[in-house]
Amino acid sequence: MGKYHSTISRRDFLKALGLGTAGFTGAMGIPAALGTDFHDLDELMASPMSELKRPGYVREAEKPSVELDWKTIQRFDEHLVMWYAGLRNSWGPDNYDKLMQKSVENRIRFIQEKKPGYTLRDQALHDSANWAPVSFIGPQTSQTPEELGVPRWEGKPEENARMIRAFLKLHGAAQVGFVELESQTTEKLIYSYDTPHFFPAFTQGKRLVFSKMNRPLETDFERFIPYRARWVIVYTIRMSDILMRYTPGHIGLAPTNIAYQLKNVIQGQLQNFLRSLGYMGLGEASNYNALGTAVGLGVMAGLGETSRVMHLVTPEYGLRQRVFKVITDLPLPPGKPVHFGVMDFCRVCKKCADACPVQAIPHDTEPSWEVRGSFQSPGVKIWRRNEPLCNAYMISGGMVEHCSVCFGVCPLSKGNRKAIYHDLMRATISNTPVFNRFFRKVDDFLGYGIKADPEKIWDMDLPTFGWD
Amino acid sequence: MWFVAGLLIGCGLLALGYYARSKGAGVKWYEIVMGVTGVILLLVAIHDFFAFRAEYEPQAGWVFLCVIGIPGILLILLAGFLVWFRYRKNSVGPTGIE
């Protein structure tokens, strides 16, 4: 009998929860529009949704393709990143204030000039953001097994992984992986201080403390993570390929905003789901990134590789997804890093660096251990963007938080992989770097890249969420 | 779609083979390789033409159709021409009269 073997059947467990055979899908609040109907958790876990199917050219490895020095890596204070204090620290308070002033002026001027991508309706698209409440401990609105008088869910890590993956995909996630927290390595990917939550903010957020407590706790200054919560659920939400080609501007920013807003909804649902099973789900207490480094956890979960633009590249969507995380005490099998040729491709492609409007992406062939400032974490051999320049450009564009030109031009970022060419290209670069330069040229030749006339999207027959 | 395309192409090739044999025209191995390669290239070009259009990348579709599809058509035509040319050559008697 396995360590995690359940003493009650899953069917009985669900009956005890009142879900029984009355329609699991409906009971879980899963939209009928998804066209799925599962009668119980067994069916859900046996469905293809519960698997992370990777293309055949993706290879698992013991170490990530990026070089790491775990001794140098320390838990990072998130308030230092460029989105919070980093920009003002880099430019100085006076220049920062001028930048913000310019941002407001440009925002209005662009509307008046009807600049494509910045018109009033584009601005309205940006300002339509409506954020569901999000917190570290979660909504706490579902009933726990204790409240119901039933034992908590017990399953083997592999079973749990299938369940969580199926649950998250049903609610809108694209890819799901898992990281086990180990004190000398992956635990360092959890921030020392969490996000200040509001943007812009120049002070530290709450301290994230691993504690011997049995339950998580949040005070005015700290968030306590019980040591028994050893697993991180890392999941992604897709960004629209169609809209990403109309960057920079509010149209190109929309996929980012949509993904982050969806995250707030999905995270709360996942936290409630875990709570109903008898486990904790410790989420990101911010509308944006929080809790831990998204790229690092994504790499260690085996979702993708890091890239020239310091973002995660996955085999399925390239750069075009956002990465989110929830810490839990539900036992889960840790993923292994994957290799599919991204680092080698980034060495020679440099399309993002060529296209960057302010040349903030380095053209160096080899990555470096050097950091550009306190806003970056040392111990990782990567290409590092000139983030002060990058973010200053974005903000001067009228409070556009993301320029995303690099996301728009990346040859690996093709979410719609109906064309045989895309898989042929990925399979080739995964196995040999010889044709990398050729594929960059083919990408140019095919006309991929940033498109003019972003206003066109308002007349398009767009797919739901822009996910084609 | 691939099933139907494969079925049609398979039937077509079979019919072509029977027809060629009935006329006494043999097909060399390199003609088969050229013909099959041409058909594959043409199919991929047509498939990706529509796939790129579905991605809202019509330029990529047209470029791919020209760069992959035209060589595919040329290979098919070349294979067909070689078979036809040999058939013509073999069917002409020593006197030059068919």
DSSP annotation of A14: H
What CA–CA distance (Å, rounded) separates A188 from A205?
17
Say yes or no to pLDDT of A227 above 90: yes
% of chain B beyond a pLDDT of 70: 91
What is the pLDDT, as a whole number, of residue A296? 97
pLDDT in tens, A30-71: 444 445 566 666 776 777 777 778 889 999 999 999 999 999
Give the CA distances from residue A137 to residues A130, A134, B74, in Å, rounded to whole numbers and listed in that order: 21, 9, 65
Taking contacts as CB-CB distances below 8 angstroms, the residues of chain A near B44 are 420
Helices A93-113 and A387-396, interaxial angle, to 10°?
40
Query: A414 and B55 in contact by Cβ < 8 A?
Result: yes
**Three-class DSSP category at A282:** strand
Query: A418 and B55 in contact by Cβ < 8 A?
Result: yes
Say yes or no to pLDDT of A87 above 60: yes
Q: How far is A446 from chain B (nearest CA, A)?
A: 4
Give ∠ CA A138-A143-A149 in degrees, rounded to 5.
140
Among B47, B54, B64, the residue with its CB nearest the CB of A416 is: B54
What CA–CA distance (Å, rounded) separates A379 from A382?
9
B73 contacts chain A (CB < 8 A)? no
Mean pLDDT of chain A: 90
Q: How far apart are the first and last CA of chain B?
A: 44
Rounded to the nearest angstrom, the gap between the alpha carbon of residue B92 and the centroid of all alpha carbons in its chain is 26
What is the pLDDT, as a whole number, of residue A22? 44
B40 contacts chain A (CB < 8 A)? no
Query: B51 and A420 in contact by Cβ < 8 A?
Result: yes
Taking contacts as CB-CB distances below 8 angstroms, the residues of chain A near B63 are 445-447
Q: How many CB pairs under 8 A join A and B?
A: 40
What is the pLDDT, as a whole number, of residue A4? 47
What is the pLDDT, as a whole number, of residue A21? 42
What CA–CA distance (Å, rounded) separates A99 from A89?
13
Query: B63 and A446 in contact by Cβ < 8 A?
Result: yes
B63 contacts chain A (CB < 8 A)? yes
Average pLDDT over residues A206-214: 95
What is the pLDDT, as a whole number, of residue A357? 93
Specify which residues A382 forms β-bridges with. Answer: A368
β-bridge pairing A380-381 and A67-68: antiparallel
What CA–CA distance (Å, rounded) separates A408 from B60?
15
Q: How far is B82 from chain A (nearest CA, A)?
A: 30
Burial class (CB in 10 A: 0-12, 13-18, 19+), A305: buried
Among A419, A445, A460, the residue with its CB nearest the CB of B52 is: A419
CB count in 10 Å sphere of residue A185: 14
Please report the DSSP string for A36-48 in residue order.
---SSHHHHHHSG
A460 contacts chain B (CB < 8 A)? yes
Assign A348 a pLDDT band (cuts: 50, 70, 90).
very high
Residue A94: half-sphere exposure toward Cβ, Cα within 13 Å = 0
What is the pLDDT, as a whole number, of residue A199? 65
Nearest CA in chain A to B61: A446
Nearest CA in chain B to A443: B60
What is the pLDDT, as a whole number, of residue A8? 52
What is the pLDDT, as a whole number, of residue A18? 46
What CA–CA distance (Å, rounded) separates A238 from A317?
8
What is the pLDDT, as a whole number, of residue A45? 75
Q: Hey, which residues 304-323 in chain A have their CB within 8 Å of chain B?
A: none
Say yes or no to pLDDT of B9 above 70: yes
% of chain A beyond a pLDDT of 70: 89
Query: B64 and A242 in contact by Cβ < 8 A?
Result: no
Taking contacts as CB-CB distances below 8 angstroms, the residues of chain A near B64 are 419, 421, 446
Q: How far is A118 from chain B (nearest CA, A)?
A: 22
Out of A39-53, A102-116, A251-265, A424-438, pick the least confident.
A39-53
User: Regarding predicted confidence, which is higher, A82 or A23?
Assistant: A82
What CA–CA distance (Å, rounded) separates A75 from A263?
24
Say yes or no to pLDDT of A92 above 80: yes
Assign B87 a pLDDT band (cuts: 50, 70, 90).
confident
Among B44, B47, B64, the residue with its CB nearest the CB of A446 is: B64
Q: How far is A406 from chain B (nearest CA, A)?
A: 18
What CA–CA distance (Å, rounded) separates A411 from A346?
10
Q: Which two tokens stand for residue A355?
A: 């296209």
Nearest CA in chain B to A444: B60
Taking contacts as CB-CB distances below 8 angstroms, the residues of chain B near A421 are 48, 64
What is the pLDDT, as a whole number, of residue A15? 52
pLDDT in tens, A287-346: 989 999 999 999 999 999 999 999 999 999 999 999 999 999 999 999 999 999 999 999
**Three-class DSSP category at A232:** strand
User: Regarding predicted confidence, which is higher, B43 or B3?
Assistant: B43
What CA–CA distance (Å, rounded) separates A203 from A190?
18
Say yes or no to pLDDT of B95 above 70: no
Helix (H) or strand (E) holding A406: helix A405-409
User: Regarding predicted confidence, which is higher, A17 or A376?
Assistant: A376
A453 contacts chain B (CB < 8 A)? no
User: Regarding predicted confidence, which is higher, A280 or A196?
Assistant: A280
Query: B60 and A468 in contact by Cβ < 8 A?
Result: no
Residue A72, amino acid: T
What is the pLDDT, as a whole number, of residue A328? 98
Taking contacts as CB-CB distances below 8 angstroms, the residues of chain B near A414 are 55
pLDDT in tens, A386-405: 999 999 999 887 666 678 99
Nearest CA in chain A to B65: A446
B57 contacts chain A (CB < 8 A)? yes
What is the pLDDT, as a whole number, of residue A77? 94
Say yes or no to pLDDT of A28 above 70: no
Query: A446 and B57 in contact by Cβ < 8 A?
Result: yes
% of chain A beyond a pLDDT of 90: 79
The label of the residue with tokens 């911010």 reads: A286
Average pLDDT over residues A223-250: 95
- Give the gyration radius of chain A's Cα atoms: 22
A421 contacts chain B (CB < 8 A)? yes
Could you tell me which residues come within 8 angstroms of residue B22 by beta carbon, excluding any fewer than 6 positions away? none
